[in-house]
Structure 1
Amino acid sequence: MTAPSIALFNNNDRAGNTTLVYHLAHMMVRLDHNVLAVDLDPQASLTSMCLDESEIEDLWLNPSELIAQGEFAVTPGAGRVRDDRTVADAVRPILEGTGDVALVEPVSLKPGLWLLPGSLDLSRFEDKLSNDWLKSLAGDEAGIRTTTAFHRMVEHAAASVDADIVLIDVGPNLGAINRSALLAADSVLMPLAADLFSLKGLSNLGPTLREWQHNWQQVVLPQVPHGISAPPAEMTPMGYVIMQPEMRLDRPVEAYERWLERIPWVYSAAVLGEQSPAPDDDRHHIATLRDYRSLMQLAHDARKPMFELKTADGALGSTQKYVQICYREFRGLAQNILQRASDR
């Protein structure tokens, strides 16, 4: 049985996707699950949260570049990472026309947690995916191999580490990279801010997901050649998580509440495609996470999740109580998401 995959996505870069992926991954490990986190955002934000700068340099700079800059290549086997382990490396043979997707191995972050690292070079794959999407609709085998590259890469990595759950971080747009990434997901979880940007993102996202799913399932899947693993493109909407903003004097509570009240209807109408949704149906609201701004910098400096901060990390006095609240909220959210994933 393959591990269920969840893409965290909204067409709004204010929604905190990467922070949510990072903390959910760590919490799910605490709940005794093997977790594979996948960074398919060309900005590689998740990778920068999970690895330190020297490790990222080892991944992104090949030995010839290091030598040219007067640096020595990293000794093979030293540290957690080695060359050719990013998602950009995986798709490079397709991009350069030299072969199929390279099934790279994930990086071990801690017992039970692995990462398929991202790279800024992944942005080069956007045009190739866009052009080959049209070819895959026509049944072209090369186009189908391109479009299924992320799926096959993630499928291999999850099996290699015996993952129980896969969390996929994607960028805030509706481009070709995200189309291929979301086609590979069993479910889509949407972090939202209670503002106009998130609501507008939802109204664009829902119809687009349904169009992608229809084209893949009805047009492409029947033409996939034997021997190519292709995703079913379920992309089942799992629900949404409200990322509560910091309340400021120039953004009163009333403005937040006004947008918050509109989310259930917009989600049901745009994402689920319901014809007459109830305006106050919040069944798809999984949780609301408070603003943890006071903990974020400490967590960044300590290179650990907010709920793992200790006194030695600077979490003193009332801040330590805030850490405990953060732990309870993320634990409850992770349990809810794991239950929804198992109920699919």
Structure 2
Amino acid sequence: MISIALFNNKGGVGKTTLTYHLAHMFQRLGHRVLAVDLDPQANLTSAFLEEDELATLWAEPEGLSPHPVLFGRVGEENGTVATSVKPIMEGLGDVRFFEPTRITQDLWLVPGDLELSAFEDKLSAAWPLCFTGDQAAIRTTTAFYRVIQNAASRVRADVVLIDVGPNLGAINRAALLAADTVLMPLAADLFSLRGLRNLGPTLRTWRTTWQETVLPKVPSSIPAPPGSMIPLGYVIMQPTMRLDRPVKAYQRWLIRIPDVFAEAVLAQPQTDSASYEIATLRNYQSLMPLAHDARKPMFDLKAADGALGSTQTYVLKCRAEFQQLAENVLARLAAVEAGAVRSQETGGLE
């Protein structure tokens, strides 16, 4: 099993949409997939589940329709990330483990919850205490990792996709420390470049602090992540072109992304302008309302969903692009895993 956090500390770049569609495409390519919603906004969860399912999962009975149509995907055995860490938030114990919510064959979800935002202060207070080996603080900081590992083990996941919010706060620090790799959705604009310049040094600081200061103090009784957070690369999310933002403005920022990514995220000179660009996805804004109404990925839309005439051609292009993206990401994951094996075989000398 290998995990990917999809992250950019600049919001509005299509991160959750990318996570949702990659999860479905990995599943279609024959992989067992676990999606984890660690964004307190819980947008990924609302993309996967119906409103009545959400009301049941979040224990909001007043939110149920008079005659709810449930599909057996949410039951008493299921919980959210917030309910998993609730004993820690209340000071009453350690994490609780629940069965992941089954979305479809070979695709599961660890649902998010708006109540997760209350965990921010607890994680923030625990971070400096981890430096001294405080076990309660270490259990708090590793809570997400242990929830993910338990869920992935239950469903025998091949790939875990972790959706996180657009900030550099304590929740995201714990979420990213739990991830083996990081995939960054970017828009070709000034804000994404500024986000990269902030993100890269922060990831390196978190990685170094965790690996050199905290990990040596973690007792063997507490499963802890290696904090690798290996950058897989970035995906360019094309915007809708407006008359007040011509193509030249888009290109202006696009050509700067490889250098900024290499400098800020990799801390090394750029040698190959395309080496970390995994894909460029066109804007599928016209398909999004249809996909939302049909409760399915854009590349699965049929004529019965309103994808008629030329729109169906657009759906086919969308499917081809996401399949190519998924295959590119899987190739990068295989390279990361192969590199880890080589490192173990040589005693970490590579």
Provide the TM-score with structure 1 as the length reference.
Answer: 0.94
Q: Which deviations, in whole Å up to 9, do the C-alpha atoms of 1:214-268 show, x marking residues without a partner?
A: 0000000000012110000000000000000011111100000000011000000
Q: CA shift at 1:9, angstroms? A: 0.2
Partner SS, residue 185 of structure 2: strand
Q: CA shift at 1:13, angstroms? A: 0.7
**1:17 paired residue among 15, 22, 40:** 15
Partner SS, residue 274 of structure 2: coil
**Count of aligned residue pairs for this structure pair:** 334
1:189 counterpart = 2:187: no
1:200-219 paired onto structure 2 within 5 Å: 200-219=194-213
- Alignment-derived partner of residue 318 in structure 1: 310
1:127-166 paired onto structure 2 within 5 Å: 127-166=121-160
1:164-313 paired onto structure 2 within 5 Å: 164-274=158-268, 276-278=269-271, 281-313=273-305
- Alignment-derived partner of residue 49 in structure 1: 47
Q: CA shift at 1:52, angstroms? A: 0.8
Task: Rate the CA distance shift 1:73–1:216 in 2: closer, same or farther, 3 A.
Answer: farther
Task: Rate the CA distance shift 1:92–1:205 in 2: closer, same or farther, 3 A.
Answer: same
Q: Which amino acid aligns with 1:296?
A: M
Q: CA shift at 1:73, angstroms? A: 12
- Alignment-derived partner of residue 114 in structure 1: 108
- The worse-fitting range, judged by mean Cα deviation, of 161-170 and 53-62 is 53-62
Cα distance in 2 for partners of 1:139, 1:227 equals 13
Please tell me the root mean square deviation across aligned C-alpha atoms, in Å. 1.8
Q: Which amino acid aligns with 2:280?
A: T
Q: Which amino acid aligns with 2:134?
A: D
Q: Which deviations, in whole Å up to 9, do the C-alpha atoms of 1:309-342 show, x marking residues without a partner?
A: 0000000000000000000000000011111111
Cα distance in 1 for partners of 2:256, 2:150 equals 40
Partner SS, residue 33 of structure 1: coil
Cα distance in 2 for partners of 1:217, 1:335 equals 31
Task: Rate the CA distance shift 1:72–1:300 in 2: closer, same or farther, 3 A.
Answer: closer
Task: Rate the CA distance shift 1:331–1:88 in 2: closer, same or farther, 3 A.
Answer: same
Cα distance in 2 for partners of 1:167, 1:29 equals 12
**1:82 paired residue among 59, 65, 75:** 75
Partner SS, residue 182 of structure 2: strand
**2:330 paired residue among 327, 338, 342:** 338
1:19-38 paired onto structure 2 within 5 Å: 19-38=17-36
Task: Rate the CA distance shift 1:206–1:74 in 2: closer, same or farther, 3 A.
Answer: farther
Q: Which amino acid aligns with 2:228?
A: E
Partner SS, residue 93 of structure 1: helix
Cα distance in 1 for partners of 2:67, 2:229 equals 40
Q: Percent identity?
A: 62
Q: Which amino acid aligns with 2:75?
A: R
Q: CA shift at 1:82, angstroms? A: 2.5
Q: Which deviations, in whole Å up to 9, do the C-alpha atoms of 1:282-324 show, x marking residues without a partner?
A: 2100000000001011000000000000000000000000000
Task: Rate the CA distance shift 1:53–1:71 in 2: closer, same or farther, 3 A.
Answer: closer
Task: Rate the CA distance shift 1:74–1:42 in 2: closer, same or farther, 3 A.
Answer: farther
Cα distance in 1 for partners of 2:71, 2:144 equals 28
Cα distance in 2 for partners of 1:112, 1:143 equals 34
Cα distance in 1 for partners of 2:107, 2:140 equals 28
Task: Rate the CA distance shift 1:71–1:6 in 2: closer, same or farther, 3 A.
Answer: closer
Partner SS, residue 10 of structure 2: coil
Cα distance in 2 for partners of 1:19, 1:196 equals 21
Cα distance in 1 for partners of 2:308, 2:71 equals 35
Which aligned segments of 4 or more residues in structure 1 are displaced greater than 3 angstroms? 69-75
Cα distance in 1 for partners of 2:195, 2:168 equals 10
Q: Which amino acid aligns with 2:296?
A: K
Gaps of 5+ in 1: none
Cα distance in 2 for partners of 1:110, 1:265 equals 40
